[in-house]
Structure 1
Amino acid sequence: MQKLNLSQVLSQKLSPQQIQFIKLLQVPTVELEARIEEELEINPALEEGKDADLDDTTDDFGNDADPMEGKDDQDINIDEYLSDEYGGYKMQGDGNYNPDDETRELPLSSGTTLHEQLISQLNFLKLDERQKLIGRQLIGSIENDGYIRRDLDAIMNDLAFSQNIETDEDELEGILLKIQGFDPPGIAARNLQECLIIQLERKDHPEDPVVQHAIQVIQNCFDEFTKKHYDKILKKCHINEEELKDIIQMITRLNPKPGGISEGLMRTQYLIPDFLLSEVNGKFEITLNSKNAPELRVSRSYSEMFNAYDKSDKKDRKLKETVSFVKQKLDAAKWFIDAIKQRQQTLLKTMEAILEYQYEFFHDGDETKLRPMILKDIAEKIDMDISTVSRVANSKSIQTEFGIYPLKYFFSEGIATEGGEDVSNREVKSVLAKMVEEENKKKPLSDDKLVKLLNNKGYNIARRTVAKYREQLQIPVARLRKEL
């Protein structure tokens, strides 16, 4: 038997405006301009720039006659929409700001994708339509790093089912070899060994003895090479140590991920910092990138239109719909301007707290002076939610005299020292990297030895943690760091 029960439940739901603000908050500088352009296109009541004549005409809409006076709370106050004082937050170039910067386009590179580049090269080959379809299928099987990892049998089946093309392995491999001759060198290889050989065979001087020996090493001693068993390579390939050094140098300069070269051909964005840090008279000053603090205003013509409609003696349905539409656009424009302003204030508030927390690092750029800091530390400092700090830190960066740093760089867990203090794990990583850099490459330090050295320096750290940090720093194990 079914029963109906009534129960009260408290739940919190975000309004559409709150959701929009959250999205706006996490947008990085490089994408903010596009977001504003989008809003300008869909809302004619929103305009870019500052109204220089606003102060001379305020009385026409504000002090002398408020057309909305006495209206209910659902209506808008025209005074609010005629104010363009949306400053109050620092932006770069208060004194020497170049207005051309506002209209200058962001430095975007554009081009074609890796697959488009390969298809273009395919079209230059003298192939019939059937062979071109096979070539397109092969190119479509190339992954982002430039490799084809699917078995040729599987590709043959794909061709049979999707293109109704019957082929055999010899024909497929023949067309694959042609594609492997495309740029970038090493593309369409089926494994790393084949990728390196393709690149070596395409050297400017393939007859060079070093190139020939390098091909021999990769073909016959690939496993030994990856494991750095150099003694076995010397015996197997009948070469001396000097020759092996030249071979190793040549091979290590090859590109293990040829597809990565062409990632730059896709539409990419250069890193544009959200904040700029400068030192003025011995004090730090944080400013927002000018593109991060645009000047926006509510359209005067829309405000005047609202005035005219509101004063009209006609109160028919069509006029009411028009007034409602104009009001909706004015509301949206005012909200968007306020949201942009709140975004800038939230960004500055968060960055100022990070600066204060990591003051010693910003003073001289020494990574070892970074303090352990988590999102909660900053959230408590600025009295905001952790999720807000996370959204600010996730895709923002700051320009310092030591370079551009993503805000995430300043957040790290703490490691206890012998003295009972907490230090940033980034400091430990920095010390670890320096140890590896200064080690004797003929006898590289094992993880156990690194643990002992770190413990001697006062860092209480376990072997598994050292291994984790080493992997995060992309430092190979001791055996693979060994050199002749």
Structure 2
Amino acid sequence: MKLIQLPTQAFEQRLKQELEENPALETGKESSDTTEDDFEDSYDAETDNESINAEDINIDDYLSDDETPDYRTQSNNYSPDDDEKSIPYAAGTSFNQFLLNQLNTVYLNDQEWSIAEFLVGSVDESGYIRRPISDILDDLAFTQNIIAEESTIKKVLKVVQELDPPGVGATSLEECLIIQLKRKEVTPSIELAILILEKSFEQFTKKHYKKLIQKHSITEDELKDAISEIEKLNPKPGGSYAGNNRIIEHIVPDFSIKIVEGELELTLNGRNAPELHVSREYNNMLEGYKNSKEKSKSQKDTVMFIKQKLDAAKWFIDAIRQRQQTLFITMNAIMQYQREYFLTGDERKLRPMILKDIADTIHMDVSTVSRVANSKYVDTPYGTKLIKEYFSESMKNEQGEDVSTKEIKKILETVIGEEVKKKPLTDDKLAAILKEKGYPIARRTVAKYREQLGIPVARLRKKI
């Protein structure tokens, strides 16, 4: 179950770790032409009652191909029962380190440098310093033993705000946007944009365009040009730095779905199916011990170690095979369940689907399906998607048929995309349009779906 929940890249790290820790596990094809079955069966012929210490290890029983060997039933051969935490992440300089490196080019005295370092450490992943100056003063005094004036903090903050990316170190969205505008070449539109943000930020955010035109004695075109400049800015400057504080995992699709001659073809990423085998050298060591006439204590200790490593290697190989099979069976069931969608790419063809639907189809536990859906990606002709995105709730349309809420959201998104932006549609009007299209849902449900899509209310969608 732990292996199933790992995406491809994390699985490779887990495999690498196991190979490093267990010399009885080897990768690649065996050099011998002997098949694995022949290899295992070769120990079935004779029986030996030689035992080792109190463990009573019967070597022939161990080497034989029992129906249920130890490694199939033991759950603690490798790791404890806590969740696997080794996940590969993108390497690189952190966002905070990136800022500190820039500070090295600025002249600051010792106190100012300490303050600047503290301020950089307070920058969040979006690029903001969201703490009041008074709190920063207190923290500097208690944690750094630095007693400074508020004016000094503000002076150093200005230095931090001159770093790249533009807008970093701002204490508010308003300040962030103004910092970016002041970095640009001065034009009438830029000057007006700065004036609007400094003097009429609330009216701007609420899109009270008529009030802005009256207050600043400007034309509609001038306002439109100023707003255009503001819309080009980045409200989250920290997000533009790939190596920021957030841990970023590279997405490697675990599955691929292609359409071949009108039929769906599913493949599992080959990196999930490594060639592994149990070390023949380690098996030969056991064979040598069995055939030796004199068995010293050191030899017995060695054979105990060898048995433990072989147990772990066989268990791991078996677990990987089960992982491959479970991943493929689960994704294949999802693909067949959503066949119409994968053939067309039309999200309106997505059927309502919950974890239990797939669990019942493949006769597995819901938790198994959840582990596959929550951490795996599939490469489709329509983009790479997280598998859990294909699961959704359902509701009845006017014909009493179950339809996916994703289908309704897609239609809602299309309707809003086609609206006249000078007079955007209210939630009441959106509910009426959806009802006309055969989806009788309440206004509050429309509001919920709109928010889930990240679409603002009608007033904030208005454009001049």
TM-score w.r.t. the length of structure 2 is: 0.90
Q: 1:67 to 1:143 in 2, by over 3 A?
A: farther
- Which position in structure 2 is the counterpart of 1:90? none
Take 2:121 and 2:18, find their aligned partners in 1: how far apart are those partners?
37
8 A Cα contact 1:396 1:407, kept in partner: yes
In 2: Cα distance, 1:308 partner to 1:438 partner: 78
Change (3 A) 1:441 1:148: same
Separation of aligned partners in 1, 2:102 and 2:14: 36
State the shift of 1:57 in Å: 9.7
1:314-325 equivalent positions in 2, closer than 5 A: 314-325=294-305
Letter in 2 for 1:325: F
Contact 1:66–1:78, Cα closer than 8 Å, also in 2: no
Note if 1:191 corresponds to 2:176.
no
- Structure 2: runs of 5+ lacking an equivalent: 51-55, 67-87
Q: Which amino acid aligns with 1:276?
A: S
| Match among 87, 90, 101 for residue 120 of structure 1 | 101
The question of whether the paired residues in 1 share the 8 Å contact of 2:43 and 2:64 is answered with no
Match of residue 245, structure 1, among 224, 228, 241? 224
Residue 326 of structure 1, CA deviation: 0.3
Residues 1:444 and 2:429 are matched in the alignment = no
The runs of 5 or more residues in structure 1 that have no matched partner are 1-21, 82-106
Q: Aligned partners of 1:434, 1:64: CA distance in 2, in Å?
A: 67
The answer to whether the aligner puts 1:32 opposite 2:5 as a matched pair is no
Q: Distance in 1 between matches of 2:219 and 2:346?
A: 43
Deviations 1:31-83 (A, max 9, x none): 111110001111111111111424179867743775666688876543559xx
Tell me if 1:286 matches 2:271.
no
CA distance 1:61–1:448, shift in 2 (3 Å) = closer
Does residue 406 (structure 1) correspond to residue 386 (structure 2)? The answer is: yes
Pairing of 1:275-424 with structure 2 (within 5 A): 275-424=255-404
- 1:273 paired to 2:253: yes
SS of the counterpart of 2:334? helix
Which residue does the alignment assign to 2:129? 148
What does residue 48 of structure 1 align with?
27
**C-alpha distance in 2, partners of 1:26/1:339?**
13
**Residue of 63, 74, 82 corresponding to 1:78:** 63
Map 1:158-177 → 2, pairs under 5 A: 158-177=139-158
Q: 1:458 aligns with which of 438, 445, 459?
A: 438
Q: Residue type of the partner of 1:383? A: H
State the alpha-carbon separation in 2 of the partners of residues 480 and 57 from structure 1: 67
Distance in 2 between the 1:258 and 1:59 partners? 62
How many positions carry a matched residue from both structures? 437
Check the 8 A contact 2:255/2:378 in 1, yes or no.
Answer: yes
Residue 189 of structure 1 contacts residue 195 of structure 1 at CA under 8 Å; is this kept in 2?
Answer: yes
Contact kept, 8 Å, 2:40 with 2:65, in 1: the verdict is no
Aligned-partner residue type, residue 78 of structure 1: L
Shift of 1:388: 0.6
Q: Distance in 1 between matches of 2:176 and 2:39?
A: 74
Give the aligned partner of residue 220 of structure 1: 199
Contact 2:44 2:64 in 1 (8 A): no
State the one-letter code of the partner of 2:199: N
TM-aligned CA deviation for residue 28 of structure 1:
0.4
Alignment of 1:82-101 (within 5 A): none
TM-score when scaled to structure 1?
0.86
